[in-house]
Amino acid sequence: MKNKHVIFSIFIFALFYANIYPIFAQAPTTPKIAFMTARNKNRDIYLMNPDGSGMERITHHPAMDISPKWSPTGEQILFESDRDRERLSWDLYLMDADGSNVRRIFAKSKDRRSSVWSPDGKQIAYNRWEQGMYYIYIAPIDGKKEERMVIGSQPSWSPDGTEIAFIEGGTRDPKRISILNVKTRKHKFFFPPKAPDWVRHVAWAPTGDKFAFSWNKDPGLDLDGNTIYIVNRDGTGVRRILDEGVGYAVEPSWSPSADTLLYGGLDKNRDLQMFKVSLKDGVPVQLTPPGFWHYVGDWFDPAYALPVSPQPHLLTTIWGEVKQR
């Protein structure tokens, strides 16, 4: 009877600490890009090395799984899925870095998309579609409380956690970058009112001093008018990254070292592929192979990751104490 009590106690402690701290989840030990593709006739999430090698599928659900985002420690991946087939809506899910331990964040399903982590990993920002427009919400990672912040879409959190860059504008209005103060909820246009309009996909640099964004100066023209720019945080130094002849380029995503961008572009077959480009030389490199559509991913590098605060030895200590009883 005593042994059964000890075993049960160990199980309860293990379950308790596993729910509070993801101590069983392991971050990659080498740099990885998480991304979505439909290589197996379904939208699933894959991992690969930053040079495009070592492609590995980590979701195997019949639903569509898209838009993976690494947690700051690299132990978890936030993603979007339509697994709630009864409501026919997208929502936000978490999984461990290897694709295991999948769980939905919110108890009540809503249309939530374009999610991003706060720098400390305690919160997420995302879009919700309500009353014919997108709103940006913030919630703790346990999903127990949502706060509606501002009308807008495509949030990108500042590295210091105090601000969120987002795209302001209705479905038919010009799109501009705005900056939201998370504490006061006040926001303002980042650029002067006249330029630039029709911006998409703002991404805050890990260094905090720059933004990347995609911009079509001539909306209404062909898709190749979309390309990638960067700009300093103070609004100066707007610079086109890719040459005129490169063509369609959208959804920039920073490397952890802030010297390289991932982006989505079209290959010679007009299929969507993932590319990377160094800010030093501006030369695009295609990372994904032809024959399938591949979407822009999120880059994790353990050399730039936040330290993991929960320590595995804590659970070992508790087990030792239980065994002595």
Which of the residue ranges 181-190, 223-232, 294-303 would you say has the lowest mean pLDDT? Answer: 223-232
């990377």: which residue's tokens? 276
Query: How far are the Cα atoms of 48, 127, 143 from residue 146, in angstroms, in the given order?
Result: 33, 11, 7
Q: Which pLDDT score is estimated for 262?
A: 97
Q: Which pLDDT score is estimated for 30?
A: 95
Q: What is the pLDDT of residues 76-92, one digit of tens each?
A: 999 999 887 666 678 99
Q: Which pLDDT score is estimated for 192?
A: 65
Q: Do 69 and 97 touch, CB atoms closer than 8 A?
A: no
Q: Express as a percent the part of the chain with pLDDT over 90.
A: 59
Give me the sign of the Cα torsion angle 194, 296, 159, 144.
Answer: positive
The more confidently predicted of residues 323 and 186 is: 186
Q: What is d(CA 80, CA 63) in angstroms, rounded to the nearest whole number?
A: 10
Mean pLDDT of 116-142: 94
Task: State the average pLDDT for the chain.
Answer: 83
**How does DSSP assign 73-110, residue by residue?**
TSSEEEEEE---TTTT--EEEEEETTS-S-EES-SS--
Q: Which pLDDT score is estimated for 28?
A: 94
Q: What is the pLDDT of residues 4-38, one digit of tens each?
A: 444 444 344 344 444 444 456 799 999 999 999 98
Does residue 221 register a pLDDT over 60? no
Does residue 176 register a pLDDT over 90? no
Highest mean pLDDT, choosing among 184-193, 241-250, 297-306: 297-306
Does residue 120 register a pLDDT over 90? yes
Q: Which pLDDT score is estimated for 57?
A: 95
Q: Count CB neighbours of 89 within 10 A.
A: 14
Q: Which pLDDT score is estimated for 6?
A: 41
Q: Which residues of 306-322 are buried (b: 16+ CB within 10 A; e: fewer)?
A: eebeeeeeebeebeeeb
Q: Which pLDDT score is estimated for 195?
A: 59
Does residue 286 register a pLDDT over 90? yes
Q: What is the pLDDT of residues 288-304, one digit of tens each?
A: 999 889 999 999 999 99
Instruction: Please provide the size of the chain in residues.
Output: 325
Mean pLDDT of 173-184: 86
Mean pLDDT of 202-211: 95
Q: Which pLDDT score is estimated for 118?
A: 97
Q: Which pLDDT score is estimated for 133?
A: 87
Torsion of CA 194, 198, 203, 204, to 10 degrees: 10
